[in-house]
């Protein structure tokens, strides 16, 4: 594993192919990966998983991917988890191919998750989450980590569309401090029309 500004390396061998990555350590619980093998571009995070439970309280999330018509899609919002089996409520802001919140006002739309979370029969720290009224899909594989939840859409029968993202526990009373310095990471693609 690398140290300081020198990255380490990792290999991931899957049924989709073999991938190699540069790995940057944030700390002993968090790694950043970027693909370096000349194939498709993949970047991501690795977090430790000391417990396979979903955090309780508000979870702030961002997700991105493709909608069911292969348009670029991004969402962000907050959902409330009881920490065991239910995401009782949530709201999201959506940008679907440049159309923000489906052209509605107010900006956020509500979703809910009845009977939301259940362990898969094989365990392994993976949960299934079903969201009702969520624009980015309805079925997700969720992987609890020490940072929060890593989520990947697993809806079947779609000709296109996949959404993935992360939900992080929100600290009670959290606020933005204007004079505070912040780090920023944005990924996506600029959507524009060409005549």
pLDDT in tens, 131-147: 777 777 778 888 888 88
What is the per-residue pLDDT for 27?
87
Report the C-alpha gap between 7 and 37 in whole angstroms. Answer: 15
- Angle at Cα 144 formed by Cα 31 and Cα 151, nearest 5°? 85
pLDDT < 50: residue spans in the chain: 114-121, 193-195
Report the C-alpha gap between 182 and 180 in whole angstroms. Answer: 6
Q: What's the predicted TM-score (pTM) here?
A: 0.74
The highest-level CATH class for domain 57-169 is: mainly beta
**Which 8-state DSSP code applies to residue 54?**
P
Report the C-alpha gap between 1 and 19 in whole angstroms. Answer: 17
What is the per-residue pLDDT for 11?
93
Report DSSP letters for 56-86, one per residue: PEEEEEEEEEE-TTS-EEEEEEEEEE-SSS-
User: What are the boundaries of each domain within the chain?
Assistant: 8-47, 57-169
What is the per-residue pLDDT for 172?
81
């Amino acid at each position: 594993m690398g140290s300081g500004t020198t990255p380490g390396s990792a290999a991931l061998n899957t049924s989709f192919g073999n991938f190699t990555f540069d790995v940057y350590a944030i700390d002993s619980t968090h790694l950043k990966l970027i693909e370096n093998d000349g194939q498709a571009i993949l970047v991501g995070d690795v977090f430790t998983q000391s417990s396979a439970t979903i955090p309780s309280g508000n979870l702030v999330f961002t997700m991105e991917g493709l909608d069911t018509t292969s348009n670029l899609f991004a969402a962000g919002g907050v959902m409330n988890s009881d920490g065991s089996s239910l995401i009782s409520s949530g709201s999201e802001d959506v940008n679907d191919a440049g159309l923000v919140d489906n052209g509605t006002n107010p900006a956020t739309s509500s979703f809910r998750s009845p009977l939301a979370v259940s362990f898969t029969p094989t365990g392994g720290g993976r949960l299934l989450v079903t969201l009702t009224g969520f624009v980015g899909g309805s079925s997700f594989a969720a992987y609890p980590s020490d940072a929060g939840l890593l989520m990947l859409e697993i809806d079947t029968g779609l000709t296109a569309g996949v959404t993935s993202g992360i939900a992080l526990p929100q600290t009670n009373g959290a606020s933005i401090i204007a004079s505070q310095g912040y780090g920023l990471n944005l990924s996506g693609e600029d959507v524009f029309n060409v005549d």
